Structure 1
């Protein structure tokens, strides 16, 4: 049976307020902070408040509540906030709980920077900061807007990386992204990779026509010890930035 809660009712609003006080105390006592995206916190708090109204327990809203009776629910070992897996494993190892509301300060800061960096890269509202560039370069998959923003930042000497085309010479000669540093064709990849064999510590971005060949080469390079290799997932066919051609 589906239980419907009136979110505008005085009862629900009161439970929401109490639940917010509860999560505030959890953060304070554990040294945690809230997720940098407020919608995450609001959604989880609403779920906790709902479960408090229905079961008189703040069961984790990201998991089903098992058991029809109080005794059955206790025997089922349902997660009660803040749950044991979050305290003992998720937050220490991953920086956040499964639901996302509770985070370490370090995770929240890094996540906030990443969110801001992605927004700037896609909206072009301003140039990326050095810190934002470094965050984006840790992504295994990049889109065209992010590459454009990173190339702009590299021009300003805020960040350094290699942009590598893994298509064939005839494709490279016909059209390539302005700022491409190396051509390392997939068909002779191991031999041509010697060009940058001594640059395994430098972040590397790969691209091809559609993102397929570059994804394959990305895995090869990671297996060979490259520290950070990103793939342009959609390839040059979808690139809206500057391109050039010829030798």
Structure 2
């Protein structure tokens, strides 16, 4: 399976093209870039990665599959996707991946999205922590608390990054135990099966790919202890590692 080196000349050249494409898209629709520059950079690199690998700027928040000799994305998510143009940005102010938004959304982002802190739920008992760990959908501030509890030996679980290697290299949640990209599930099946009897939490950029994989693991492989970081690393308020 082909992989992409984000430091290669090929990737860097395509990244510049993707940046120009994104700026033209913003101008065309009268949108704005998300005020969080890290979100913008991650999505731009995801779009570039898909362009290099698959020949199209598929949305990096959704899995890409090969069908009948062609690469396709869930719900035809090719940037700028119809869902963002017709529904997400007009109604929610921001696209699913977070790169594009309305100027009003950008201006009010800090006020409308107060940061969540794990301190809001400090002092929970082990039983209450276990209850959070058993949830299928876990919020960013909840994961931060679970990781703190794990450091103290109160809980046991594995945190799995299912994004692509270049995304993991850019940034990852401190405490991540493994990188098992969703694009390589069929190749890493043995590694996944070793985790079947353990409690695991999986995450991606904004929760779409990990949600898709969560359902697949449960339906196709019989997993029953998988938690999904609902809004992905983009919503995680805790410590991030880079490089």
TM-score (norm 1): 0.48
Pair member with larger Rg: 1
Q: Quick one: higher RCO (CA 8 Å, sep 6+), 1 or 2? A: 2
